Amino acid sequence: MNELTRRDFLQSAAAATAAGALVPSIAAASNGDPGLPSGPVVVSSANGLRATEKAATMIRSGADTLDAVVAGVNIVEEDPEDYSVGYGGLPNEDGVVELDSSVMHGPSCRAGAVAAMRNIKTASSVAKLVMQRTDHVLIVGQGALRFARAHGFEEVNLLTDKARKIWLHWKENLSDRDDWIGTEVPDDDAQANALAALPFTYGTINCCAVNPSGDLSGVTTTSGLSFKIPGRVGDSPIIGAGLYVDNKVGAAGSTGRGEAVIKICGAHTVVEGMRQGLSPTDACMAALRRIVETTTEKRLLRDDGRPKFDVKFYAVSKDGRHGGAAIWSKAQYAVYADGRNRLEPAEYLYERPEKDKDA
């Protein structure tokens, strides 16, 4: 058995069986070594089906797991139709898109990140270069932009017309005690309409992968909380919060309310749960319970005491098991495993009430 000890493996397998793990038999799925997956396993948030497909294809062709997951999320970062990431992401309160991203490479135990970076579509690629070409882990704001410029990244206005209209709708309807006159919902795009009706949104993409050698990497990238105060940094570029990879154990990442994830060192908590023998799904659930326990401010709680917001964790273990969990039901996560790319239902703490906009 490779880097997992036999005891660790037996513990995690027992926990997985008890929890009704999503991968029925690790031993049956493996290629002679019961501690390793037989092919790539890639997990992502529900907006990452193209990322998991791309990353798995690259890993099957021999690519490094970090190159693979970054190439996967680049597709979504460059997609103007995804309002939560990169080009087309929703802007800050001034109407300017600011991006956060982090990467971790398991085999070399290295990490890189950028935060509050403007004008560059693929924040994850810049984060990877911070890891590869500097002695730093996190570069923010103007410094991140200047670093990206130095590496030849093209500068563009990240605010698409659709995202601008959603922002303008938010701004014009903020208050009836200012000089902006409220408008109707911006256009006939269903997603734009839904977003315009929300007070805030925290969309993000996380993608983590393990290859048949048991090497892991992960990436998280986002335009962050919509209409945030300029300079606000969420969990995505914080190593241990929005992303954590330990090549001996597994990888995890998050989407949802970053402030809640930062306070419990979310992704690190998930990976530590797997280290203690929890299945990926159970480790995600344990971290979510900690978020609920630490959410005590009344303004963040519904009348029944449950959080008004949602957080989702995604995890993959070194032996190829995977899982995802959310505070509220009806969430899914993307996964490539056993040669198939699909969405799977995420485990959850609470049944989502009908017409619940806040959660």
Minimum distance, C-beta of residue 259 to ligand GLY, in the bound complex (Å): 7
CA angle 263, 266, 41 (to 5 degrees): 165
| Closest to 358 in 3D by CA, of 299, 297, 314 | 299
Minimum distance, C-beta of residue 45 to ligand GLY, in the bound complex (Å): 10
Residue closer to ligand GLY by CB (options 22, 85) is 85
Residue closer to ligand GLY by CB (options 15, 260) is 260
Residue closer to ligand GLY by CB (options 58, 265) is 265
| Closest to 48 in 3D by CA, of 209, 244, 271 | 209
Minimum distance, C-beta of residue 84 to ligand GLY, in the bound complex (Å): 8
Residue closer to ligand GLY by CB (options 35, 242) is 242
Please state, in angstroms and rounded to a whole number, the distance separating the CA atoms of residues 227 and 225: 6
Provide the token pair at 221. 């990238």
The residue annotated as part of the active site, out of 122, 204, 222, 269, is 204
Please state, in angstroms and rounded to a whole number, the distance separating the CA atoms of residues 163 and 180: 18
Minimum distance, C-beta of residue 204 to ligand GLY, in the bound complex (Å): 4
Residue closer to ligand GLY by CB (options 92, 247) is 92
- Applying CB under 6 A, which residues contact ligand GLY? 202, 204, 222, 224-225, 234-236, 242, 255-258
Minimum distance, C-beta of residue 95 to ligand GLY, in the bound complex (Å): 17
The residue type at 141 = G
Please state, in angstroms and rounded to a whole number, the distance separating the CA atoms of residues 290 and 229: 26
Integer Rg of the chain from CA: 20
| 204 carries an active-site annotation | yes
**Helices in 134-249 by DSSP H: which ranges?**
141-150, 161-172, 190-197
Q: For residue 43, what is the enclosing H or E element?
A: strand 41-45
Please state, in angstroms and rounded to a whole number, the distance separating the CA atoms of residues 356 and 133: 45
Q: So which residues are the catalytic ones?
A: 204
